[in-house]
Copies of this chain bind each other. A is one copy, B any other.
């Protein structure tokens, strides 16, 4: 049973404490917009997977009750930074298993500095991220900056040492994504910066400067996933097919290699992409537009390699060549990516899906990728999970 995205919605992503809202306010806005976009009502929804990390248990119910009290099943899911794509994956699974109409919803009301702690801000000592961090800290003697920045900073230095990647190439990722964000009304930051400005910004963890790191954000995003039968019955238009999707979690090399590049999940991303290409019978050459998980600039480079956009070590040259922006082979992160759009954990994966749906429908306005037919979303979380999703205009 094929699954289609029939509607998407999201809030603008905001710096925490900018707006007076609770997570259920965000959910109402994003969920209501997605339902209206699909042209259906909440009464049509049969199941609701909800993604978030920082809110209490059953926050999904509290959130969807804003849309209606129909008594349908709610599954609250978390997977750190890959939570949004996990909710989307569950929605697809439910439709493939026989459901007609599922709402995937993701939100996060965050605290400043939350991204640096254990993903739920709580018991870092026993968190999965602490385990990854502990292994690397013992080897590399990390400093008193947020663990995630240390792990990704370590991966960046490793990439520089191993392949000769430069700080300017890392900054080029951020320059591209900030430039894209100028045209995205949903982005937390919409200012363009050149490579020199990005290099001159405060260092968070060497070599990563503040303008190369995703900010802490509030926000929500949602997608309505439907069966072919339901779409036909209701005469729904603007459909996007979920062609293939895969989640990979850690394998022995995540822990055993001693490489920060492995620990932050490049092998998970590679494996998820491999599975998706195999299932779809498509490859990266068939893809026009990519939304990928640039939580830090270095992760965009690592992901180019994991998705097969270039051989290992050549990602720095790839971004500098212009191949991943308008006019190039692909447009990567037309939304501005996590770096400028923001990164509310539960929402990010669904916001990527929303951007791709708009791109594949030709509704992305001044950030439209001309002629986009196939899109790829990549969402990853330490701890960990990488989810890759291939979407195609139906």
Contact = CB atoms under 8 A, between A and B. Distances in A.
Contact of A56 (B22, B74, B119): B119
B78 A79 contact: no
Contact of A98 (B97, B122, B123): B97
Interface stretch (A228-236, A363-371, A379-387): A379-387
Contact of A58 (B70, B72, B93, B128): B128
Nearest to A64: B249
B80 A78 contact: no
A221 interface: no
A94 interface: yes
A79 B76 CA distance: 6
A337 B345 CA distance: 37
A291 to B, nearest CB: 20
- Residue from the set A77, A119, A124, A247 with the largest chain B CB neighbour count within 10 Å: A77
Contacts of A23: 126
Q: How many copies does the complex hold?
A: 2
23 contacts: A57-B78, A57-B80, A57-B83, A57-B119, A57-B128, A57-B345, A57-B381, A58-B80, A58-B119, A58-B383, A62-B127, A62-B128, A62-B383, A71-B248, A71-B249, A73-B89, A73-B246, A73-B248, A73-B249, A74-B249, A75-B79, A90-B90, A93-B93
A252 interface: yes
Contacts of A83: 57
Interface in A87-129: 89-90, 93-94, 96-98, 118-120, 122-124, 126-129
Contacts of A80: 57-58
A59 B127 contact: yes
Given A56-B123, A61-B385, A97-B97, 6 more contacts: A23-B126, A55-B126, A57-B127, A58-B128, A61-B250, A74-B249
Interface residues of A, number: 60
A120 B123 CA distance: 12
- Residue from the set A129, A252, A383 with the largest chain B CB neighbour count within 10 Å: A383
B74 A77 contact: no
A288 interface: no
Nearest to A23: B126
Given A56-B119, A58-B381, A250-B61, A77 B75 contact: yes
Contact of A97 (B22, B73, B96, B252): B96
- Residue from the set A56, A89, A268, A345 with the largest chain B CB neighbour count within 10 Å: A56
Interface in A270-297: 271
Given A69-B254, A76-B78, A385-B74, A61 B249 contact: yes
